[in-house]
Chain A
Amino acid sequence: MNATYIPMEQQPVTAQLPSRGRVGMFVLIAAESAVFTIFVVAYIFYIGKSLTGPTPQDVLAAPIFYSICLLSSSVTIHLAVKALRLGNVSTFSRWWFATIALGGIFLYGTATEWHRLIYTEGLSISTNLFGTTYYSLVGLHGSHVVVGILCLTLVLGFALTGRVKQEHAYRVDVLSLYWHFVDAVWVVVFTVVYILGR
């Protein structure tokens, strides 16, 4: 092992670079967007190509109420992060809980829709191309909602045990970026599945 090094000029760190948490999350969102793009392309490509029924026109109804719930959870999580930045932990916890609840209501909506499609309409993932693409795309988004809710619940647990403080606003903000992404993707999925697809 060699034991020498060449000394470099030294200066205190002053330069301002972007924060790694936000950059990392934005890149993850870019990767996730690419995954969703492929599924959306497949969905659009296969619209109207099913050889057998049921078709989207027969069985799909736009889940407007549940969509409003999910989209408004972006507002509540924003308010939660804003409250934590100001150091208001109890307000943060309340808005944070509201976000989880709204996400939960959305998942309940998906569950009832899938239950109706499977047991009443007889549409499963292997019934036809519509079933394959529909359950894959909506399920991919739904699994992201589930992961998001798990992460949010973890933070809520920390908050209720008094471990979330004002200095954590930055980390919570990074997590909220993911939740905003999950909401934004739903706008695309909703447009493709419930408007274009019918």
Chain B
Amino acid sequence: MSTDSITWPQTGTAAHPFVDRLHEWVTTVDHKRLGILYIIYALVFLLIAGIEAIVIRIQLIRPHNDFVSPQVFNRMFTMHGTTMIFFVVMPVLFGFANYLIPLMIGARDMAFPRLNAFSFWMTAFGGLLLYFSLVGANGLYGAGNAPDVGWFAYAPLTSPTFSVGHSTDFWTLALLVSGFGSIGTAINILATVLCMRCPGMTLAKMPLFAWLNFVMAGLVILAVSPLTAAQIMLLVDRYLGGHFFDTQAGGSAVIWMHFFWIFGHPEVYVLVLPAFAFASEIIPVFSRKPIFGYSVMVGATVAIGFISMSVWAHHMFTVGMSASANTFFVLSTMAIAVPTGIKIFNWLATMWGGKIEFKTPMLFCIAFLFQFLAAGLTGVMLSVAPFNWHLGNSYFVVAHFHYVIVGGILFSLFGAFYYWFPKMSGKMYSETLGKLHFWLFLIGFHLTFDFMHLPGLLGMPRRIYTYEPGRGWDTWNLIVTIGVFFQAAGILVFLGNLLWSYFRGKTAGSDPWDAWTLEWSTPSPPPEYNFSVIPTVKSRRPLWDLKHPADPDWKFE
């Protein structure tokens, strides 16, 4: 056995006419192409939802600003939240899972390739449906166009009385349709991981990426299904005159909150577990050490999966639940910090004593570690019910969850983009532009979201259209908005880097990082069938074994 490379025949697709290539992409059932479709689709929506965020921040840059009308402001924060969660972060994570899981476990495709394509197009049409509201929601009522009920759409705002026209219908149908897509993808990931592993790859030898996405898919099954049920109920209320959330007829507005957050909190872990998965692959490779405490990492992941199903009502402390319910959700929320903390220590221990290479993916992962820790700490603060009573629905909460989603998930995601871009495109990205993106985004992130905590502590509620001068909020809001432009510049550098490198970048080679998981044994980009011969593995780092036949991992695992 040797590491000699053999020449692979070039398969030219560039010669095909454009219509043929378009047809190939639209009808594809290949997990890699679907993965890339998911990712590009999510990047388009990232730009749209980012522009919505910029509009929100310009409106709040100074007191009594009138950049947009209050109605437009409501639509902006609703569309920003809904788009970012359902049509940016979830699709991009599904895209990476789709692309990488079969390659990492030595399979030629997902378990159900056609279900995979179906799921992608459901998600895609869900996003189009949401934005079609701009055209179609007025109806005959002359009512507003885009949804304006907030991303968690509390009753009775969504009732036909308070939400005339079709904007809320577009919101609920978009989530219902994309929810079917998410459930299809989750079924596919679970079946792929359980049924498609190559010989020798037991569950305990899978890359952590596959493990974390496996638990993520399980959470999607248990979390997105309740959301689907709740959306069906909302449709019954709106179209058939039902009374599920109609307090006038004895229904309950609070039960919508329960149903939504039974989805909503596990959803946070649906988003963050793949971010952990990226970090768990990138940090070891750039520290030149195997991951510290593999089995503890798996255990902590499964523990997070279970505990995350029992913490949802910490979103509802301000509703006024019973003392015992409050106590339960305070304790369960604090408990989930324990396995998460274990993970942070494991990543630190992986870096400890390692020969760290500060390439762009690693920079993003290191920032992810510290920012996610800070986000977790404000999370523990907010889990204390009496503290929450003061700061619930304030900008402190907004700063907290943006710290999780931007500072944690998005940073890890950018690391993943740079780490796997050579594999997906066959080209190396520009390290200079990558570092420029990192520093611009890091500065922008901290300007925006560090300082956003302060107006929250000073009493500024979320979702307000404007505010009075002289409450001590003015300077902080100005700084927060300035940070947004640094982030936008970073995103533009990022997109420019992707495009420039794709067309002009240097050839990357099959294994530019000297990494250890199976995807790096294939050419870049991998051929349609991934592996000409299905590999056999003996340890968690099959490529390490291959490169170091005298000192293989399987002797020590």
Given known A-B contacts A19-B195, A23-B195, A132-B243, A5 and B5 have beta carbons under 8 A apart: yes
In the bound assembly, the distance between CA atoms of A191 and B237 in angstroms comes to 25
A35 to chain B: closest CB distance in Å? 5
Contact A2-B510, Cβ < 8 Å, known A17-B197, A49-B250, A132-B244: yes
Binds A, one of B224-232, B451-459, B487-495: B224-232
Given contacts A24-B111, A34-B226, A125-B241, contact A8 B542 (CB under 8 A): yes
CB neighbours (8 Å) of B207 from chain A are: none
Contact A132–B542 (Cβ < 8 Å): no
Inter-chain contact A45/B222, CB cutoff 8 Å: no
Q: Which residues of A contact B195 (CB under 8 A)?
A: 17-20, 23
Which chain B residues border A125 with CB–CB below 8 Å? 236, 240-242
Chain A residue nearest in CB terms to B220: A31
Type the 1/0 row for A29-62, where 1 means its CB is closer than 8 Å to any CB of B.
0111111111100100110011100000000000
Minimum CB distance partner of A126 in chain B: B241
Measured in the bound complex, the distance between the Cα atoms of B200 and A14 in whole Å is 10
A51 contact set on B, CB distance < 8 A: 249-250
Q: Is B119 engaged at the interface, CB distance under 8 Å to the other chain?
A: no
Residue from the list B112, B191, B534, B543 in contact with A6, Cβ < 8 A:
B543
Q: With an 8 A cutoff between CB atoms, is A7 at the interface?
A: yes
- Contact pattern, A 181-198, Cβ under 8 Å of B = 1, otherwise 0: 000000000000000000
Q: Does A136 contact B (CB under 8 A)?
A: yes
Give the contacting residue for A5; candidates B112, B192, B196, B521; CB below 8 A: B521
- A6 near B250 with CB under 8 A, answer no
Contacts of A37 in B (CB 8 A): 226, 229
Q: How far is the CA of A3 from the CA of B6 in the complex (A)?
A: 8
1/0 per position for B168-190, CB-CB distance to A under 8 A? 00000000000000010011101
A154 within 8 A of B: no
Size class of B's contact patch? Answer: 35 or more
Given contacts A2-B507, A8-B536, A34-B222, contact A27 B199 (CB under 8 A): no
| 14 CB < 8 A contacts A-B | A1-B10, A1-B426, A1-B524, A3-B10, A6-B511, A9-B1, A10-B535, A20-B111, A33-B225, A35-B226, A35-B228, A39-B233, A126-B241, A132-B236
**B509 contacts partner chain A, Cβ-Cβ < 8 Å:** yes
Residues of chain B from 519 to 533 with CB closer than 8 A to chain A in the complex: 520-525, 531, 533
Query: Residues of B contacting A64 with CB < 8 Å?
Result: none
B331 within 8 A of A: no
**Chain A residues whose CB sits within 8 angstroms of the CB of B521 once the complex forms:** 5-8
Question: Which stretch from B90-98, B251-259, B311-319 is at the chain A interface?
Answer: B251-259
Beyond the given pairs A3-B523, A37-B229, 12 more chain A to chain B contacts, judged by CB atoms under 8 angstroms and listed by A's residue number, are A2-B426, A4-B7, A6-B543, A20-B112, A20-B191, A24-B111, A24-B112, A24-B190, A28-B183, A30-B222, A31-B224, A51-B249
Residues of B close to A133: CB separation below 8 A: 244
Q: How far is the CA of A33 from the CA of B226 in the complex (A)?
A: 10
| A120 beta carbon closer than 8 Å to chain B | no
Which residues on B sit within 8 Å (CB–CB) of A9?
Answer: 1, 535-536, 546
Cα A123 to Cα B392 in complex, Å, equals: 41
* Structural contact, A30 and B249, CB atoms closer than 8 A: no
- Report yes or no: B229 in contact with A35, Cβ–Cβ below 8 A: yes
Of residues 133 through 191 on chain A, the ones whose CB sits less than 8 Å from some CB of chain B are 133, 136, 140
Whether the pair A31, B542 counts as a contact (CB closer than 8 A) is no
Residues of A within 8 A of B4 (CB): 7
| A interface, size bucket | 35 or more
How far is the CB of B233 from the nearest CB of chain A, in Å?
7
- Measured in the bound complex, the distance between the Cα atoms of B8 and A125 in whole Å is 64
Bound together, the chains give a CA A25 to CA B356 distance in angstroms of 45
Chain A CB within 8 A of B221 CB: yes
Q: Is B518 among interface residues, defined by CB-CB distance under 8 A?
A: yes
A133 to B246 Cα, complex, angstroms: 12
Contacts of B225 in A (CB 8 A): 31-35, 38
What is the CA–CA distance of A46 and B232 in the complex, to the nearest angstrom? 17
Contact A38–B523 (Cβ < 8 Å): no
Identify A13's interface contact among B9, B194, B199, B221, CB under 8 A: B199
- Bound Cα distance A37, B236 (Å): 17
Is the CB of B374 closer than 8 A to any CB of chain A?
A: no
Q: Which chain B positions have C-beta within 8 A of A15?
A: 197, 199-200
Contacts of A13 in B (CB 8 A): 198-199, 534
Chain A CB within 8 A of B302 CB: no
Question: Is A129 part of the binding interface, using a Cβ–Cβ cutoff of 8 Å?
Answer: yes
Partner of B221, one of A10, A30, A129: A30
* Other-chain residue from B1, B221, B237, B255 in contact with A31 (beta carbon distance below 8 A): B221
- Give complex CA distance A11, B511 in Å: 23
Check if A72 is an interface residue, CB within 8 A of chain B: no
Interface residue A110 (Cβ < 8 Å from any Cβ of B): no
Does B307 sit at the interface, judged by CB under 8 A?
A: no
Q: How far is the CA of A36 from the CA of B233 in the complex (A)?
A: 12
Q: Which residue of A lies closest to B229 (CB)?
A: A38
Contact (Cβ within 8 A) A4 B230: no
Select the residue from A31, A42, A46, A51 with max chain B CB neighbours within 10 A. A31
Docked Cα-Cα span, A118 to B327, in Å, equals 45
**A91 interface residue (CB < 8 Å to B):** no
Asked if B3 is an interface residue, CB under 8 A from chain A, the answer is yes
Task: Determine the chain B residues whose CB is within 8 A of the CB of A17 once the complex forms.
Answer: 194-197
Set of chain B residues within 8 Å of A5, measured between Cβ atoms: 5-6, 8, 510, 521-523
Chain B residues contacting A24 (CB-CB under 8 Å) are: 111-112, 115, 187-188, 190-191
Is there an interface contact between B523 and A136, defined as CB atoms closer than 8 Å? Answer: no
Contact yes or no, A27 B190, CB < 8 A: yes
Q: Give chain A nearest CB distance to B539 CB in angstroms.
A: 12
Q: B508 at interface (Cβ–Cβ under 8 A)?
A: yes
A6 touches B5 (CB 8 A): yes
Q: Check B250 against A50 for contact (C-beta < 8 Å).
A: yes
Q: Which B residue sits closest to A40, measured CB to CB?
A: B229
Chain B: which residue is nearest A34 at the CB level?
B225
- State how many angstroms separate the Cβ of A141 from the closest Cβ of chain B: 13
Task: Check B255–A42 contact: CB distance below 8 A.
Answer: yes
CB atoms of A42 and B244 under 8 A apart: yes
Interface string of B475-510 (1 = CB under 8 A from A): 000000000000000000000000000000001111
Contacts of A8 in B (CB 8 A): 518, 521, 531, 533, 535-536, 542, 546
CB-contacts of B1-23 with A (<8 A): 1, 3-10
Separation of A19 and B255 alpha carbons in the complex (Å): 39
Which residue on B lies nearest to A133, using beta carbons?
A: B244
